[in-house]
Amino acid sequence: MSYSIAHTKRNGQHLKLVIDDVTTLPSMFLTIYTISKLTKRSLGTQTNSLKALRFFYEFYERKHGYTFDGAFIDAKYNIEPFLQEVNQFFDYLLSKQHISDSSAYISISLLSPSIKVKQAYVAYVHVVTRFFKFLNDRYTTTDYQDYAPVDAAVMQRRIDHKIRQITKEYSALEVDSNSSTTRYRSLTDQQVLLLDNMLLPSTEEFVDLDTGKLHSAVVNPLNPFKTQFEQFRNYVIHRLMFQYGLRIGECLLLSLESFGPTLPDPKGERCYLLLVQNLPDGINDPRTTPPSIKTKNSQRWNEKCQALGITLKCFVIFCW
């Protein structure tokens, strides 16, 4: 009654799979969903989505005594009867049975209009409803249902409407502001200033080679990082993420080949181009979880002023 998330790699392509710990085989419908939908996402997104679906699969098997895959096949690929499981799955999360060592399922209802819930639990439900929508789109068709084309289309729209209603109801739940999963969407100007002041790196004493002027050492007592290497590295990463909008995975993909100067304009000024893309095929990334852009459509480039070139050059110097 337990599942694990496995990581496989073939021809440079990384893939996450949910494995049944008893049969040691991957779940059929989750594998189809992963290949069809999740492979277009980053490994982090794959992991988070499959984590939620693993919880749902364990919940379903604990409750009913057989697997969701088997039940879905027995239902002749009709996802509609399984929509009623969403509320009980949410109660299962609220009662923290998903992190319990027990294999028994306890039916309990904790959700009330006044309760505040963890954002992660709502996100898990949204993952499950997206999975249900995929199954509805794929299997509520004349290829799998013994209906006329018009009847199959009506059935598919009816189920899709019910799934949207479930998503809307859970999106309206009040999230616990003290939950560790709460995300801040923006910072105030004062918070931005405090963050910049804290991350400014200390500098050692140095002589300006052009002017010969001696500059004294400057220590930033607010910076929590000990070494100058850590301070400069983290400050540059902060600037790339905060000022230029790069994600963590995109920062980890940057190299010397990721940026370069343009040709000078009539005034002799240059801009710098930043290209964010996955590593080329054939490059073996030794990191345990290789970074990647969020989706295939996330490949992008930006044209910025000279400050971008300086920032990226510092990033490469201090990180490689």
DSSP collapsed to 3 states, the chain: CCEEEEEEEECCEEEEEEEECCCCCECHHHHHHHHHCHHHECHHHHHHHHHHHHHHHHHHHHHHCCCHHHHHHHCCCCCHHHHHHHHHHHHHHHCCHHHCCCCCCCCCCCCCCCCCECHHHHHHHHHHHHHHHHHHHHHCCCCCCCCCHHHHHHHHHHHHHHHHHHHHHHHCCCECCCCCCCCCCCCCHHHHHHHHHHHCCCECCEECCCCCCEECCECCCCCCCCCHHHHHHHHHHHHHHHCCCCCHHHHHCCCHHHEEECCCCCCCCCCEEEEECCCCCCCCCCCCCCCCCCEHHHCEEEEECHHHHHHHHHHHHHHC
- Interval 164-182: pLDDT, tens: 999 999 888 766 655 554 4
Number of CB atoms found within 10 A of residue 278's CB: 19
Task: Tell me the mean pLDDT in the region 47-73.
Answer: 93
Annotated domain spans of the chain: 3-171, 189-319
Pairwise CA distance, residues 45 & 47, whole Å: 5
Provide the pairing of β-strand 13-20 with 300-304: unpaired
Question: Tell me, what's the pLDDT at 113?
Answer: 47
Q: 298 or 204: which carries more pLDDT confidence?
A: 204
Residue 253 · residue 277 · CB < 8 Å: yes
Question: Tell me, what's the pLDDT at 148?
Answer: 92
Number of CB atoms found within 10 A of residue 152's CB: 17
Pairwise CA distance, residues 174 & 212, whole Å: 61
Of the candidates 75, 109, 117, 43, which has an alpha carbon nearest to the alpha carbon of residue 291? Answer: 43
Task: Tell me the mean pLDDT in the region 260-271.
Answer: 80
pLDDT of 11 higher than 70 = no
pLDDT of 311 higher than 60 = no
Bridge partner residues of 14 (DSSP): 9
Of the candidates 89, 79, 16, 76, which has an alpha carbon nearest to the alpha carbon of residue 49? Answer: 16
In the numeric block, which tokens belong to residue 111? 């959700």
Pairwise CA distance, residues 99 & 110, whole Å: 17
Question: Tell me, what's the pLDDT at 306?
Answer: 47
Question: Tell me, what's the pLDDT at 80?
Answer: 95
pLDDT of 112 higher than 90 = no
Task: Tell me the mean pLDDT in the region 282-306.
Answer: 68
pLDDT of 70 higher than 70 = yes
**Per-residue confidence at 152, pLDDT binned at 50, 70, 90?**
very high
pLDDT of 16 higher than 70 = yes
pLDDT of 314 higher than 70 = no
Least confident of 14-18, 88-92, 185-189, 249-253: 185-189
Tell me the pLDDT of the chain averaged across its residues: 82
**Per-residue confidence at 14, pLDDT binned at 50, 70, 90?**
confident
Task: Tell me the mean pLDDT in the region 117-145.
Answer: 91
Pairwise CA distance, residues 251 & 179, whole Å: 27
**Per-residue confidence at 317, pLDDT binned at 50, 70, 90?**
very low
Residue 46 · residue 34 · CB < 8 Å: yes
Q: 185 or 142: which carries more pLDDT confidence?
A: 142
Question: Tell me, what's the pLDDT at 302?
Answer: 57
Question: Tell me, what's the pLDDT at 318?
Answer: 47
